[in-house]
Structure 1
């Protein structure tokens, strides 16, 4: 939910009172459900932008997502709607299309701790990504404030390579936990059947309509890579996906396995 205190007027007053020079927006809907997505990904960012331009702020950095390259979901269209407004605004802007975060790929840790197999969609090689850590991504966002080469541009960014498939993620996690790899394969067709069923029932139930969208989100991430899309050749291109940072997913898994850190995933948990 968006706090009622986050109005354009209150945001503008906050920026003016603190002599704000730049805005870095990382806000995003928690669930991706349509109403939430339009309220947060577009409308809250719109309020931030209007407050910023009204307060004389000179720069706006937006954290978006690399998946908007192939928009099929409500939250992707909401993000793109605001991106268009930002590019047309009288302000220096940077739009960062990030690949997957470490915490988005850590949801099966407790399954493995409970002795359950690692879930894979299809053969586990359908998709790939170059995941990036929170710290490396934060450094990149801040760099956008000072590097002219990163300004007034849409920037696609991933973490250190190479690109990693879900099966490789499972191997890393099993290795970090000292366990023998065990996998359970989930047919993508089953997800499509769930989407179709919920979409049909959603015609008469708003609650099921939202569940259908969440199922579509799950299917999207199970079948689409978080890499640069090569439209000319109709494929994802790992080599064309820029890399930034030094922290690796394998190191993150090791720290999770030893409980040096914990991922607060909240509604981002899939499994």
Structure 2
């Protein structure tokens, strides 16, 4: 298939690009003309990893650029989007997670594209934040478009859970909220997720479906993660509990300041995002039981987070966390 990929400069986008080419598709990647300084596209080896794909440049937030610079009035079989807002603040989320995708959908339909695969997020099940509402708004538009769609909602990413490696290696305690068992997830690696996304093109069972997906193995808590790292390093287990109430206090202060400062308002939203991930599991939500359901969360792939931890502790470079950096 001839595929246009949005968001190839991200780690998941790059993994998806590799998977698409490995599965034999003809790939065109649409990249920003001016990429953020943190993007993979300014790192050595990025272009080498995309060898075999055609690279086009423009502005994915512009309908005109998508039409003229991305699709170029040429036929494509499908669009795959791994594009996402980098901050999650309201303005960024609605501009990228919603409007840019709406433009891409419009431009795709104009050249006869019949299939759209979207990387979304499992956290939209309980939409409390701006970026979740923006993602859901486009999901609805895609479903109503009449185009064959696959909406992929992954659980936690490995890079999101790599942030405390350095702390533990330095002998510092592993930070947890509450007792470290408030949340659980089934993390999925970039390569396993990229393989799943690419497979949506040809697997009819994934067409016109919303697809929650996690990695292999059981669900794990932050406490599980910390205990594993200390065991691997042969260090005594040390946890430092951060009260969720501290986040509530920070959010309250920033909300007050946000009434006079847009920067403070954005920081308040970022704090709300942090609180959400500190208190909500990245698993399928069972509305009937009113709880998260690990057994109902599908798995895909080969690599577990603990296998990745072993590799990183042995010297393999940990993934770039960029907007996922917290600690």
Q: Judge same fold: TM > 0.5, yes or no.
A: yes
Asked whether 1:5 is paired with 2:65, we answer no
Q: Which residue of 1 aligns with 2:171?
A: 115
CA distance in 2, matches of 1:160, 1:256: 19
Q: Note the aligned Cα RMSD (angstroms).
A: 1.5
Native 8 Å contact 1:125 1:167 kept in 2: yes
Asked whether 1:232 is paired with 2:232, we answer no
Question: Residue 138 of structure 2: SS of its match in structure 1?
Answer: helix
Native 8 Å contact 1:177 1:254 kept in 2: no
Asked whether 1:157 is paired with 2:213, we answer yes
List aligned pairs for 1:14-25, cutoff 5 A: 14-16=70-72, 19-25=75-81
Q: Which residue of 1 aligns with 2:84?
A: 28
Deviates more, 1:151-160 or 1:6-15: 6-15
Pairwise CA distance, 1:236: 0.6
Native 8 Å contact 2:230 2:236 kept in 1: yes
List aligned pairs for 1:81-230, cutoff 5 A: 81-230=137-286
Pairwise CA distance, 1:243: 1.0
The alignment covers a number of residue pairs equal to 270
Q: Which residue of 1 aligns with 2:326?
A: 270
Q: Which residue of 1 aligns with 2:309?
A: 253
Pairwise CA distance, 1:182: 1.1
Q: Which residue of 2 aligns with 1:75?
A: 131
TM-score by length of structure 1 reads 0.95
Pairwise CA distance, 1:123: 0.2
CA distance in 2, matches of 1:130, 1:172: 15
Q: Structure 2: 5+ residue runs without aligned partners?
A: 1-31, 34-57
Pairwise CA distance, 1:222: 0.4
Native 8 Å contact 2:73 2:111 kept in 1: no
Q: Which residue of 2 aligns with 1:241?
A: 297
Native 8 Å contact 1:31 1:268 kept in 2: no
CA distance in 1, matches of 2:106, 2:146: 10
TM-score by length of structure 2 reads 0.79
Native 8 Å contact 1:63 1:95 kept in 2: yes
Native 8 Å contact 1:24 1:62 kept in 2: yes
Question: Residue 212 of structure 2: SS of its match in structure 1?
Answer: strand
CA distance in 2, matches of 1:118, 1:42: 36
Pairwise CA distance, 1:114: 2.6
Q: Structure 1: 5+ residue runs without aligned partners?
A: none
Native 8 Å contact 1:53 1:90 kept in 2: no
Deviates more, 1:178-187 or 1:222-231: 178-187
Native 8 Å contact 2:162 2:318 kept in 1: no
CA distance in 2, matches of 1:163, 1:48: 35
